[in-house]
Structure 1
């Protein structure tokens, strides 16, 4: 009995063992299948991504190959076209029976011309033909105010500040109203504003100059000064702080452009024309003035720098030259003065002064002239006459040539305080030499002021009225 029980227990144990073993195999198989499924998903995802990347790469490679093929075809077509054109150009253009041929000139399509190329070409031409391209010059238009004042435009600073100035060969400084000028003469005129100029440079040295009709004071400064299309950088000029005198109140000008020699410049300032010459702003170191008359002309002639081509005003460029005898004012020897056939003066020193409207003469000469023309002298040095009165011609002898001014041009119409119109002689009294030839003389002769040769030239004009 006991043996049976033991056998039964052994069979039961064996069954349990076999059952557990079978369950373990089932579980292990399921786990392996799960791992396989998860691994398969990962492999599929990785394969999909790799496939997409490969597809994009393949498309890009196809595009590059297509673009490369297009470029290659384009280059081949251009090369074929270029070869055809070159062949056509290089082959002689010979028609039936003709004896000529057209040869091509080299052309560089992307060539860029520079200023250096132009300068080199000018140097080449100058050397070949023996002339110079450095012929800088300019002309400023003059305005005539009643035959008493001639003005032109001048600019100072950057940007340009415009001024109306008198070109004055009887002085050598430039001045315009400054920003701090409170005088009545400054109130109705353009003021220079240094704060508005990027090229202004402070000097600060005091300035004072006296004229026959008034005096001005101020301070010196530096800036770019331009006239007639020409410009001089760092030009010294004066900004006025005071302008006493009634002349500056009623004047048509803002300031003065001095055109005399440096030796008479206040503070020994280098003049504008000197700087034009030394800095090669003008190639010919001279200037010329041509004035037109009439008294009501808005275009009163021209002021020219670097040139004396005045035929447009004088009718010719035939100048009579005489040397400067003293380099300060434009002074020379006036050999004789005639009124009609009467000689009223022998050799005398004379000055050409564009800032003066009249002609002045020493007392003895003045009295002789008045006696001949029959005018009535006044205590103020004027000589009155009726405007209908005829007077003989005047002749000024320069370098052996008579420069003639018609008698009726030596009378100036003026209006009295009572409203009457009378005429006065263009000659006024100033004791002692020199004779001063102002606008009443210059109006009839284009006048050249030659700094390079220190001489003055006169060309008779047919346009003076």
Structure 2
């Protein structure tokens, strides 16, 4: 009987030690922002998990149906696979912040997620005007929505669109496939009426039957591409031009900032909206083949120091941050005191009290981004924060200028003249602040969601928690562990004496 009791208490002791180890591991992951499993993802081949979850991150090339390398019924929409990453310190709100309705013709308010992270439009499809929230993406030319035939979990939690939703739906046998840095979708091309910003016309778009889980981080049902078509399939802006509705084929974008208290974001077509900016618009011709919204980047620097670049930079409303070729970020950060590379130049830590502007030179003009826009959340390292300028190793020598820059300016995308105009944004005010659209019924009971898991998206950055770890909690845990260990030893010792 004594030996039975001894075995019983030894089993309890084993369980106690396993519990202590589990608690310690959880504490380590919580306080440090990392754990052993995620650290595997930061090395070797798994570095490629630093992915583009900003779903519009691509420079697309559409292979026409007659291309000899592909079957006639397949569009293969390829990209440069930039591996632009979505920082996992963000939280995506399960609320949709509606904009104040603009009063100009051919314009639409821009919705956002409440974090200045994702900007999207309210688009209506088909004969029944099915409402779809679509990411407004100047970095892509293709448009697609989640189809009713999609059975992936992400599709079942979003509104979808298909033949049963519209009597004017025209299906096709032409397949499409888009692979982003992380995540993908595929399906078939269809044609139906699309209505947005005062326009209404029939145009082709993808109806996805497969959407990967990475898109679950976004409050969108698809993407509205706002770049030039790279194929015989017309894009949205091609359809705008073909409609001959506007005297001037251009659009301006003003992105809202949550800190200003209300959502006044807008996209307007036909002419610049002078109520949205101060000073004069400065225009810059598109570079290269002029089929992407990119211009020449003369120099970049912190403060007064300018580092010549001689590269191109893509104005991309589908990206949240700023991304640069890996070698360029290493050079740029060498000019800011205290900057530290977390993962060989991909992510950077900078002093939280940085006061210098991040400055870009286009032509002879300088555009400054204040520290409040390029310095991100704090880390567990005292005095250090994440930077919103990250390095990537396959941008083909191209920078990507995302929303953290664009929301400070009013930007004109001139389709006819193939140029981009920039002016300082005017802060909009209103006595009416719209309430968020509640979406808990659509997306589940949780009101917030962490973006990503280490296996499918980004490995957690060490110390990427929004609040500093509490030292008192760590000390209390250590004391509890010591007490538990002591009591376990006393129990075993007592049993051994009893057996003896």
TM bucket normalised to smaller: 0.5 to 0.7
Q: Which runs of 5+ in 2 are unaligned?
A: 1-103, 430-500
- Cα offset for 1:409? 1.8
Counterpart Cα distance in 2 of 1:451 and 1:340 = 33
Tell me what 2:348 maps to. Answer: 383
- Cα offset for 1:186? 1.0
Segment drifting more, 393-402 vs 422-431: 422-431
Structure 1 residues 297, 262: CA separation in 2 closer, same or farther (over 3 Å shift)? farther
Tell me what 1:340 maps to. Answer: 303
1:196-246 Cα distance to aligned partner (Å, 9 max, x none):
3122122231011122231110111111101122212x2101110001142
Tell me what 1:398 maps to. Answer: 362
Contact 2:275–2:426, Cα closer than 8 Å, also in 1: no
Tell me what 2:107 maps to. Answer: 138
Counterpart Cα distance in 1 of 2:349 and 2:275 = 35
Counterpart Cα distance in 1 of 2:383 and 2:228 = 39
Counterpart Cα distance in 1 of 2:261 and 2:147 = 30
Aligned to 2:271, the other structure's residue is in SS state coil
User: Which residues of 2 match residues 171-250 of structure 1 at below 5 A?
Assistant: 171-232=140-201, 234-246=202-214, 248-250=215-217
Counterpart Cα distance in 1 of 2:421 and 2:366 = 13
Given candidates 306, 310, 319, the residue that maps to 2:270 is 306
Matched, 1:449 2:413: yes
Counterpart Cα distance in 2 of 1:404 and 1:351 = 17
1:31-65 Cα distance to aligned partner (Å, 9 max, x none):
xxxxxxxxxxxxxxxxxxxxxxxxxxxxxxxxxxx
- Cα offset for 1:300? 5.4
Structure 1 residues 255, 423: CA separation in 2 closer, same or farther (over 3 Å shift)? farther
Q: What TM-score comes out, normalization by structure 1 length? A: 0.64
Counterpart Cα distance in 1 of 2:171 and 2:408 = 42
Tell me what 1:274 maps to. Answer: 238
Aligned residues: 321
- Cα offset for 1:158? 1.1
Aligned to 1:346, the other structure's residue is in SS state strand
Counterpart Cα distance in 2 of 1:238 and 1:446 = 30
- Cα offset for 1:462? 4.2
Structure 1 residues 236, 137: CA separation in 2 closer, same or farther (over 3 Å shift)? same
Contact 1:139–1:305, Cα closer than 8 Å, also in 2: no
Tell me what 1:328 maps to. Answer: 291
Q: What TM-score comes out, normalization by structure 2 length? A: 0.60
Aligned to 1:213, the other structure's residue is in SS state coil
Matched, 1:287 2:287: no
Structure 1 residues 399, 386: CA separation in 2 closer, same or farther (over 3 Å shift)? closer
Counterpart Cα distance in 2 of 1:407 and 1:227 = 35
Aligned to 1:278, the other structure's residue is in SS state helix
Q: Which runs of 5+ in 1 are unaligned?
A: 1-134
Tell me what 1:111 maps to. Answer: none
- Cα offset for 1:270? 0.1
Contact 2:140–2:226, Cα closer than 8 Å, also in 1: yes
Counterpart Cα distance in 2 of 1:169 and 1:459 = 18
- Between Structure 1 and Structure 2, the one with more helix by share is 1
User: Which residues of 2 match residues 337-376 of structure 1 at below 5 A?
Assistant: 337-373=300-336, 374-376=338-340
Matched, 1:439 2:403: yes
1:53-95 Cα distance to aligned partner (Å, 9 max, x none):
xxxxxxxxxxxxxxxxxxxxxxxxxxxxxxxxxxxxxxxxxxx
Aligned to 1:372, the other structure's residue is in SS state coil
Counterpart Cα distance in 1 of 2:363 and 2:135 = 29
Tell me what 1:34 maps to. Answer: none
Contact 1:287–1:450, Cα closer than 8 Å, also in 2: yes
Structure 1 residues 386, 462: CA separation in 2 closer, same or farther (over 3 Å shift)? farther
Structure 1 residues 208, 188: CA separation in 2 closer, same or farther (over 3 Å shift)? same
Counterpart Cα distance in 2 of 1:422 and 1:156 = 47
- Cα offset for 1:149? 1.0
More relative contact order, 1 or 2 (CA 8 Å, 6+ apart): 2
Aligned to 1:269, the other structure's residue is in SS state coil
Structure 1 residues 165, 339: CA separation in 2 closer, same or farther (over 3 Å shift)? same
Tell me what 1:101 maps to. Answer: none
Counterpart Cα distance in 2 of 1:355 and 1:154 = 16
